[in-house]
């Protein structure tokens, strides 16, 4: 019939339009899912970097308790003053006064016989540790690159570093524990000489290099397949390195007071285990994982985490 002429063309155009809209919608949905998956993966990786920051903080705290790794040789003297500034109860009183916004003078802390004995024992222990540390350094000073534990400066960490409000790191401003506009007293911040940022790549580089070599099975030689594998592995390694270098971390440690520390162990002379409750020093470790843009100029994702650790005093 004449009225039906061109109907197939119109129907084809309508179907083409519908299919185009459906195809475009599927592309948009797939692209959105892919972008969301990438964002989720990047956030999850940043979370792992934040956990790495906490572990690095715990490692630094443990190293400080045992003695940081140092090298070299130098003259070391015991110039410490053994007074109320080293007595746990006096330190606790000072930090309590600071939290209440009050001034505190260590001279107002009354020392009893037990405190005096504590100071004398601490001085003896410090002198013994210092002499041992000197001997260790002298014995190993000739060995190039040798590191030893700094047994002299080991021990409890206190909030001796004050960070001005205008100099707070972005990690510090990510926690509600610290009021905006106020200075922060902390025991340590990492790192102090690299714009307060640690490189996640420095930690995982050996693992990434080894896994890439294993994945491409580089065996050496001059054949084309080995050369192709080597070039492919190097390209993949460069791409992975550039991606992982966009993840950085930072952490800082704050002494929050004293708490009972439960130490455990076993005696050689007895068959039962021994649990000893003693004075401990409590810390909070604040860590941040950061994911930067490709130019390493802006932070796309920041994940703050915190944990508490109690060390023997």
| Tens-place pLDDT, residues 81-113 | 888 888 888 888 888 887 787 888 888 898 999
Q: What is the pLDDT of residue 93?
A: 87
Helices (H), the chain: 7-66, 88-99, 113-140, 200-216, 224-244
On the 0-12 / 13-18 / 19+ scale of CB atoms within 10 A, 94 is: buried
Kindly give the parts of the chain with pLDDT less than 70: 1-7, 9, 31-39, 71-77, 139-146, 191-195, 211-230, 261-278
d(CA 24, CA 12): 18
- Other C-beta atoms closer than 10 Å to the C-beta of 248 total 23
Q: Are 257 and 282 in contact (CB under 8 A)?
A: yes
Of residues 51, 52, 31, 49, the one with CA closest to residue 243: 49
Q: Determine the 3-state secondary structure of 205 from DSSP.
A: helix
Q: Determine the 3-state secondary structure of 77 from DSSP.
A: coil
Residues near 159 by beta carbon (within 8 Å), at least 6 away in sequence: 95, 185, 186, 187, 254, 255
Q: What angle do CA 160, 161, 162 make, to 5 degrees?
A: 120
Residue 126 to residues 20, 122, 229: CA-CA distances in angstroms?
80, 6, 58
Q: What is the pTM of this model?
A: 0.66
The distance from CA 213 to its chain's CA centroid, rounded to whole angstroms, is 28
As a 3-state breakdown, the chain gives helix, strand, coil percent values, each rounded to 5, of 50, 20, 30
Express each pLDDT in 166-222 by its tens digit: 888 888 888 988 877 888 889 888 765 445 788 888 888 888 777 666 666 544 444
**CA dihedral angle for residue 174, residue 180, residue 182, residue 186, rounded to 10 degrees:** -10
Prior bond of 236 cis (ω within 30°): no
Q: What is the pLDDT of residue 75?
A: 61
Domain ranges of the chain: 64-155
Q: What is the pLDDT of residue 221?
A: 45
Q: What is the pLDDT of residue 33?
A: 59
| Helix (H) or strand (E) segment spanning residue 163 | strand 161-163
């Amino acid at each position: 019939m004449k009225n039906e002429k061109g109907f197939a063309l119109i129907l084809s155009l309508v179907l083409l339009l519908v299919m185009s809209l459906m195809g475009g919608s599927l592309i948009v949905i797939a692209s959105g899912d892919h972008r969301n998956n990438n964002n989720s993966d990047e956030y999850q990786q940043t979370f792992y970097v934040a956990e790495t920051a906490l572990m690095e903080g715990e490692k630094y705290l443990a190293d400080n308790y045992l003695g940081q790794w140092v090298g070299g040789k130098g003259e070391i003297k015991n110039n410490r003053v053994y007074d109320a500034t080293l007595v746990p109860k006096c330190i606790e009183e000072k930090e309590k006064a600071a939290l209440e916004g009050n001034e505190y003078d260590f001279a107002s802390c009354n020392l009893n016989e037990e405190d005096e004995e504590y100071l004398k024992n601490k001085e003896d222990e410090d002198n013994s540790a210092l002499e041992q540390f000197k001997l260790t350094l002298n014995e190993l000073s000739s060995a190039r690159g040798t590191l030893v534990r700094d047994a002299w400066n080991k021990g409890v960490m206190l909030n001796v570093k004050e960070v001005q409000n205008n100099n707070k790191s972005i990690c510090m401003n990510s926690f509600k524990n610290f009021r905006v506009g106020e200075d922060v007293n902390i025991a340590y911040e990492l790192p102090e000489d690299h714009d307060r940022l640690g490189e996640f790549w420095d930690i995982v580089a050996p693992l990434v290099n080894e896994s890439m070599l294993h994945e491409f099975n580089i065996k050496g030689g001059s054949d084309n397949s080995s050369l192709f594998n080597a070039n492919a592995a190097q390209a993949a390694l460069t791409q992975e390195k550039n991606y992982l270098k966009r993840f950085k971390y930072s952490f800082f440690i704050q002494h929050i007071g004293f708490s009972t520390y439960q130490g455990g162990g076993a005696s050689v002379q007895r068959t039962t285990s021994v649990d000893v409750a003693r004075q401990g020093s409590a810390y909070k470790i604040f860590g941040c994982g950061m994911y930067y843009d490709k130019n390493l100029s802006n932070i796309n994702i920041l994940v703050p985490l915190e944990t508490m650790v109690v060390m023997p005093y």
